[in-house]
Structure 1
């Protein structure tokens, strides 16, 4: 079985061999004899409207209309056309890629049937000539009732439930017949029908054997690219966005408080603050934990404001903001500020600075809109960073954050990641080695049940330095760990070396807040809101409204 499909009914004429082109070539020969041209798309449209003998009658009528002496076009022209067609068909080979599909079906236990207007004995001989008879369980016939009637009865003949049986057709009328009978259909176009097959219709996918595997075609038919995930009960999207935004700012603020100090350099005030966080206590006095954030949150909130004001992710609007605001540090921002060109694209930068701001893209774009999500993330990341490692991690963070906001469970996201690495590295212009670091670190997680142990592993393996391949890899893996948020965040602040913990914690907390919104401590986030004069709940409401009904500029 492949994607819930147990059986496939394949039309012999057109899907296995290009018999339609044989019919067209036979008629084209007659038109050329008379100095006339018969376009293949015209023939294809005519065949779609008048399948079978009706097409021949229409073409004979057309030929008589176009020649100087209609009487010279006699009925025996049809016999000549049919003889020529049979000669051409007798030399046809299988269409490219068909054998690979048949072998894949055999290997995966999908039962295969073929159907034709031909008599069963003639069709069996043709299959043997082509060397594929062994792949088909039964040879079926359309019969006098035509394709639609056959497809209505096909589940009974195949002894397969209608929902688990798929038709494979090559023409518009064949697809319509299968769909009218309630069967899903793979449309495999041949030269005469490629322009006329219906696109984007429910229950139908267009796939050509040389360019797609059978599994991919059936997967597309099943909608296996993933449905919109159902949010967890009791937690709406707005709550996840608000929690992610607040948690990201909290991680940033705590990292600023620790300020690249190692565990052994932390004084009692900071140690106590982390203990309060870990045990669910209230934040310490303002003079210990001020709620002040760094450039990670400043640049994120600047993008959030820009997106809310414009109703979309506008690179130009965000660039104007970045050129004017106080970024609170960051060499990459000042490279942008000092550039006077009409279009600025960062030439370098493999640090983590472009990653946290991509949360704003994830807040406004569902994870099922991966194309928009990734290109919007690139729009804002390339203003300051041009290194492929930074861009890859920014894309990966945005994709994971959007899935978390959608309510997809963390385990489901982890299982899908390997399939995303290759397209994301193509978009970023590289980053395969970073993808290997991420996956290798996630693979270790399966054998670890403590955030403290996992943090030690990450610290030793990839570290938490400013480089995206270090801090962002650790942060993403932590975000996908599912460990208790307060415990993990506090443990992250207690490291053995002098790391860039504000950015690491911001990226981690942005993910963990979306995956585990109920674990984000409201009083700690409230301290940051008061210090910054921002209301994360109101910002989240505006962002989620855009997520539901994106504004398309005129």
Structure 2
């Protein structure tokens, strides 16, 4: 996958999404959704799953409910899906995706500040990253608990730029979903996509670059790390 430009960017800060970019959590969400639907004799629609990606839980569950024609309330689905997710997760670590640690080290050596902006909760963020000791490598993190509007609304990325005291135009966002891409671009940031397998490339129009992984040579060149 090639970026639209191979000229290095002026990068003052980098913001990481969490699910599907840093950690391999999407299969866990998919399996919990599949089990919830199986109890009702309903097949999982992968297009619905894709539309949910990158959005806060309640917003995602509304899409899930409508897309599968369910009659339960969003709150009822939230409780049931949360129970299923944590049963699947158990006591295991959620796996880091390739290149996360190495890219953080490269950015750190260059003195480029880093942050996390996720649609997940702070409790969940700490649950999945604390075992790896990664939170200390970020200047700050923003979660769904810190915003009124979730992705694809740009609020979380506008807040990130403000926290860095930088122009969004000099902030690079690393994302894996169309909703995250829309949020980043609406905030005025550059956005690099490492697409999830569920995401059709046609849904990623407007990305400043699309790369195969976090250590792709073209990404390292753009970030000058």
Pick the TM interval, shorter chain: 0.7 to 0.9
Q: Tell whether 2:162 aligns with 1:156.
A: yes
Structure 1 residue 52: Cα displacement: 3.6
1:245-264 alignment runs, 5 A limit: none
Q: Tell whether 2:64 aligns with 1:59.
A: yes
Rg (Cα) greater in structure? 1
Structure 1 residue 113: Cα displacement: 0.7
Aligned to 1:357: none
Structure 1 residue 139: Cα displacement: 2.0
**Does the aligned pair in 1 maintain the 2:9–2:222 contact within 8 Å?**
no
Of 142, 145, 148, 2:149 maps to: 145
- Where in structure 2 are there 5+ consecutive unaligned residues? 1-7
Aligned to 2:135: 133
Question: 1: CA distance between counterparts of 2:136 and 2:175?
Answer: 21
Alignment RMSD (CA, Å): 3.2
1:340-379 alignment runs, 5 A limit: none
Aligned to 2:80: 80
Provide, for residues 326-366 of structure 1, a one-character-per-residue CA deviation record: whole Å limited to 9, x for no partner. Answer: xxxxxxxxxxxxxxxxxxxxxxxxxxxxxxxxxxxxxxxxx
Question: 2: CA distance between counterparts of 1:64 and 1:219?
Answer: 46
Structure 1 residue 156: Cα displacement: 1.9
**Does the aligned pair in 2 maintain the 1:114–1:139 contact within 8 Å?**
yes
Aligned to 2:176: 170
Structure 1 residue 166: Cα displacement: 0.8
Figure out how many residues of one structure are paired with residues of the other and give that number.
Answer: 210
Structure 1 residue 51: Cα displacement: 5.6
Which is bigger in relative contact order (C-alpha 8 A, separation at least 6)? 2
* TM-score (structure 2 length as normaliser): 0.75
Structure 1 residue 76: Cα displacement: 4.0
Structure 1 residue 34: Cα displacement: 4.0
Higher helix share: 1
Provide, for residues 472-508 of structure 1, a one-character-per-residue CA deviation record: whole Å limited to 9, x for no partner. Answer: xxxxxxxxxxxxxxxxxxxxxxxxxxxxxxxxxxxxx
1:228-307 alignment runs, 5 A limit: none
Question: 2: CA distance between counterparts of 1:39 and 1:220?
Answer: 36
Shift of the 34–117 alpha-carbon distance from structure 1 to 2, 3 Å rule, reads closer
Shift of the 96–194 alpha-carbon distance from structure 1 to 2, 3 Å rule, reads farther
Provide, for residues 8-45 of structure 1, a one-character-per-residue CA deviation record: whole Å limited to 9, x for no partner. Answer: 0111233211333322221111233444431434421x
* TM-score (structure 1 length as normaliser): 0.34
Aligned to 2:12: 6
**Does the aligned pair in 2 maintain the 1:97–1:209 contact within 8 Å?**
yes
Higher strand share: 2
Structure 1 residue 78: Cα displacement: 4.0
**Does the aligned pair in 1 maintain the 2:56–2:119 contact within 8 Å?**
no
Provide, for residues 417-467 of structure 1, a one-character-per-residue CA deviation record: whole Å limited to 9, x for no partner. Answer: xxxxxxxxxxxxxxxxxxxxxxxxxxxxxxxxxxxxxxxxxxxxxxxxxxx
Question: 2: CA distance between counterparts of 1:181 and 1:205?
Answer: 17
